[in-house]
Amino acid sequence: MSTQPDDSALLHEYVQHALSKQGINTGAYKNFVKEFSALRKKAEQSGSELEVKMLTNLLHTLKNLVSLLRERTHDALMSEVLGIKLWNTAPEVRCAVLELVGNLVVVNSAFTHTCLQLLVYSFLPPPSPPQPDAGQGEWQPSQQELNIQASVLNALNKMLALVPTAPASLLSLVVQHMPHKLRDRNTQCLFLSAVFAVAEAPSGRPIRDSLLAAAVEHLLTLDVEIRWEDIVDVPTGQEEEEGESEQEDPEDIFELEGMSELDINGQPHSHALPHEQQQQQQQQGLQQLLSLPAPLLVLC
């Protein structure tokens, strides 16, 4: 496989032969897939300038040969291409992948669903351990997050405008890929900001109402999942020990509306805070509960 920029014609000929029927019969296609996979792994692991450039050149060559690609015949190659994580790769590789999928769906609509799936999945970075302060303060995405998501949305909007069947497929994918309700606040906001951006774009007009309805429904599920610990200060173990000599008031206000069985700490009520301090915290908790904002404001 050529590695020099001035060998683009030879690279084009090599890839063209590998994708052809003759290349598949002679094993050239299998060798090409192996080489592509190995180069992709090296570029992802080391990120060296040479390997990134080689991978980018290959993707550009494939972009110019999308008319030869077939869904079943070249499924192994497309799995490698669409398996590139857009958030973790070099900017030039990300750009090349987005250009490739954009050309691909225009030439062959059979790839529409898989390409849309890549773009919707790329609304968010790959899952990672939650940050300790992920839900503190106002949501402020980094400039890198905004730039990567903007490039994904730009490719998506072009696809929606050029492929008539794309909007209907996109709607179901967005609903399927909604973040789990237990994911952190920043993840929820980043995904929903992408959904709102699609709904506001002219290309998203055919499914705008459905997208917004799906977003609202998701927000309602998040609002239901707000825990009592997120609203009222939870007594610490030290505070419980200090108040262990005090008896719980039988006329606790949590007996109202069947809330006497609510166990904030998940432990038996063998230790209680002094009554005045407990009552003060309970009143503060109710005041905070009554002043909760709308679900979207709770998130962002």
Please, what is the average pLDDT of the chain? 80
pLDDT of 38 > 60? The answer is yes
pLDDT mean over 149-170? 95
- pTM (whole model) above 0.75: no
Give the mean pLDDT of 85-102. Answer: 96
Percent of the chain with pLDDT over 90: 58
Residues 43, 49, 55, 61: what is their CA dihedral angle, to the nearest 10 degrees?
170
Per-residue pLDDT for 233 more than 60?
A: no
Q: 3-class secondary structure for 85-143?
A: CCCCCCHHHHHHHHHHHHHHHHHCHHHHHHHHHHHHHCCCCCCCCCCCCCCCCCCCCCH
pLDDT reported for residue 237: 52
Domain residue ranges in the chain: 1-106, 108-126+139-225, 229-299
Q: Which two tokens stand for residue 141?
A: 């995405």
Sign of CA dihedral 112, 113, 114, 116: positive
What confidence tens digit (pLDDT) does each residue in 177-225 have? 999 988 888 899 999 999 999 999 999 999 999 999 999 999 998 875 5
Higher pLDDT, 249 or 112: 112
The yes-or-no verdict on residue 87 having pLDDT over 60 is: yes
Contact (CB, 8 A) for 176 and 218: no
- The pLDDT value given to residue 250: 46
User: Tokens in use for 63?
Assistant: 């972009």
Could you give the CA distance from residue 281 to residue 51 in angstroms, rounded to a whole number? 60
Give the model's pLDDT for residue 184.
Answer: 85
Give the model's pLDDT for residue 282. Answer: 52
- DSSP code string of 32-49: HHHHHHHHHHHHHHH--H
Position 44 pLDDT exceeds 70: yes
Q: Which of 289, 291, 246 is nearest to 269 (CA)?
A: 246
**What are 263-293's pLDDT values in tens digits?**
434 444 444 445 555 555 555 554 554 444 4
**Confidence band, pLDDT 50/70/90 cuts, at residue 52:** very high
Section 163-173 average pLDDT: 93
* Average pLDDT of the residues in 112-141: 82
Burial of 270 (0-12, 13-18, 19+ CB in 10 A): exposed
Q: What is the pLDDT of residue 289?
A: 44
CB 171 within 8 A of CB 215: no
Burial of 80 (0-12, 13-18, 19+ CB in 10 A): middle
- Check if the beta carbon of residue 282 is closer than 8 Å to that of residue 272: no
Band of pLDDT at residue 86, cut at 50, 70 and 90: very high
